[in-house]
Structure 1
Amino acid sequence: MADPRITLGLGLLIFGLILFAEASPQGRILGGEDVAQGEYPWSASVRYNKAHVCSGVIISQTHVLTAAHCVSSVTITPVDASTLAVRVGTINQYAGGSIVNVKSVLIHPWYGNFMHNIAILELAETLVFSDRVAAIALPPKTEEQTEDVDAELPNGTPVYVAGWGELSDGTASYKQQKANYNTLSRSLCEWEAGYGYESVVCLSRAEGEGICRGDVGAPVIDDEKVLRGLTSFNFGPCGSKYPDVATRVSFYLTWIEANTQ
């Protein structure tokens, strides 16, 4: 006959393991993995009054792109640039790398209600590029805009996002997370979410995954490490059944180039 003390001890151990499993975070809202140091050197943590609020992407030694609603006071009127800074060169939103102040903020003139959700941050200092700080490549410029945007990113194109958004347990991620997505065509995005605009890219992922607060403004890149979008918003709660939405960068190339020379 088994020693009752052993049986009781095993029972308590199993019970404790069950409680620990239930109490531990059950995965990240991005459904992804930790980013390795230097893996996404173009990433930036956009900070308002010294706290991380959104993600961003380095496009030159003096400019960062992010989502307009991250830096908007009222519609296209930005918050005071003196309240903003970016942390670059680190995967830790709380430490490492360097913090650079923002000199000026330009929100796209058509921005409103999450449409044309893009802004340019001009930095107060010139970034020193290294293996941990670099500019992302912008998409090639075409002769004219076309409504056949699916030719640029056909349905099911693999794309990748990395940011510092909330995890599935509601806590903030101190370490940058990355995840894989697939693009949705305009017609499928219209079908699934009623949002098939040529100025956006819709991102497909499993339910229970996706972008969340703190990820907005993060770069959406393709296999060639070309910037294709900036994460913009998600429908309903994070990880809902609906696709996530990103601002299509190619739609704004002329505006970006005109304001970053």
Structure 2
Amino acid sequence: MVFKLVIVFVLLQQVLAERCTTPNNEIGSCVLLYSCPALIKAISHQDPLSIQFVRLSNCGGSGRNPMVCCGVASNFTVPIDLVTKKVQTETTTIETVTKRVEVKNATNSLIPDRRFCGYQHSDDYFRENYNTSEINEFPWLAILIYKKNSDIPRPTLACSGSLINTRYVLTSAHCTKQTEDFDLKLTAVRLGEYNIKNETDCVNTTGIKECSDPAEDFGIEKIIIHPNFVKYDTKHDIALLRLNRTVTYTDYIRPICLPFPGTTFAKVGDTLLISGFGQINSSTHLAEIKKKIQTKYISDEQCAKTNGDSLTKDHFCTKDVRDNTEFRCYGDTGGPIIFSHKSQWHQEGIVSYGFSGCGSYFPNVHLKVKSYLNWIEANIEP
């Protein structure tokens, strides 16, 4: 029933829209790009002429909501005089959106599906204590599981990561390399964890009992480390983990959005969030329940006073809020630092390191994910 209503709405929109002429001289209607099946099909072809046809179909709107002259023909041939015509403003308007749709429809997709990524149910209801994590919060958080190369069979948790699509987890390169010096081998990734002591987690929120699905462990099929990463260096500290099977999204396992073009980024003074199962405030004990850490974006100048020459253009810094109950600490590196815009979260950075321990007195240094989007896209396989 809902689907039929959507179809009726789209058809009604086209009837009421202004008449126009498409690049192949068909009489059409000026509508939103996403309401034009023929042009969405053209974009999905990934053919340069089809993309050019969409750009030349512009009839108004904005960069976020472009309008196009929509017809029904599937022939996307563009007359030569229109190809050579200078239409810089119109082309720019459509280009931003066509790139976004191209990536969405590509098999090797950089951007997680916008229908699922970055949403968490904990944003849908009121909470009395914002400083502690909810059972369905941070559904993209991944725990990296290591085993001793010795005879000790007990798994060890030492780093975090973030789920970015159904087969890949994003983390720090040092989480895959430097652990070897501590007799640890990265063997698996755990998703959907809330309390590491329980197989199934249950909580009472506003008088309603909620139980999560059991956490899932995934083997690692492939570890991809940035080629310019040097062990014990902070530059290019990024890696991808290809899981050995496809992830099924649930309320407790869901990908984080990546910072695609058009993302509203955090700025100095904004509050971002970090989560993980690292040590509790410099103690030797790991967190049993996933942490929730509020941290403020600070300027490069302020961060450089502590971290000096180790910062590059691919880094940014935050400082944990003093009234937090938990802070970024050992074991939280490799995880995502996230920012929300209109209740949809995206990953601004990868938690890389902190100066001289953990706590609110020392800045946290993060690798900018947007600096490595091309590298991520080039290394993701279907």
Interval containing the TM-score (normalised by the shorter chain): 0.7 to 0.9
Partner of 1:70: 175
Work out which of the two has the higher radius of gyration on C-alpha atoms and give 1 or 2: 2
Q: Which of 67, 83, 98 lines up with 2:216 in the alignment? A: 98
Partner of 2:316: 201
Give the Cα separation in 1 of the matches to 2:327 and 2:237: 18
Of 48-57 and 235-244, the range deviating more from structure 2: 235-244
Q: Aligned-pair distance for 1:114?
A: 2.1
Distance 1:46 1:74, change over 3 A: closer
Secondary structure, aligned partner of 2:248? coil
Partner of 1:108: 226
C-alpha distance after superposition, 1:172-199 (max 9, x if no partner):
1111010111111222222343244211
Distance 1:231 1:123, change over 3 A: same
Secondary structure, aligned partner of 2:340? coil
Give the Cα separation in 1 of the matches to 2:141 and 2:218: 13
Q: Aligned-pair distance for 1:73?
A: 5.4
Higher RCO (C-alpha under 8 Å, 6+ residues apart): 1
Partner of 2:138: 40
Give the Cα separation in 2 of the matches to 1:193 and 1:222: 23
Q: Aligned-pair distance for 1:51?
A: 1.9
Partner of 1:238: 358
C-alpha distance after superposition, 1:140-192 (max 9, x if no partner):
248xxxxxxxx943211211111101012431111101011111122222234
Give the Cα separation in 2 of the matches to 1:193 and 1:252: 22
Partner of 2:162: 57
How many residues are matched?
217
Counterpart of 1:89 in structure 2: which amino acid? Answer: G
Question: Where in structure 2 are the equivalents of 1:120-199 lying within 5 Å?
Answer: 120-141=240-261, 152-168=265-281, 169-194=283-308, 195-199=310-314
Give the Cα separation in 1 of the matches to 2:287 and 2:338: 21
Unpaired runs of 5+ residues, structure 1, are: 1-31, 143-150
Give the TM-score normalised by the residue count of structure 2. 0.53
Partner of 1:20: none
Q: Does 2:378 correspond to 1:258?
A: yes
Q: Aligned-pair distance for 1:122?
A: 0.2
Identity between Structure 1 and Structure 2 (%): 29
Between structures 1 and 2, the one with greater helix share: 2
C-alpha distance after superposition, 1:176-230 (max 9, x if no partner):
0101111112222223432442111201125696311111111111022111011
Secondary structure, aligned partner of 1:71? helix
Give the TM-score normalised by the residue count of structure 1. 0.76
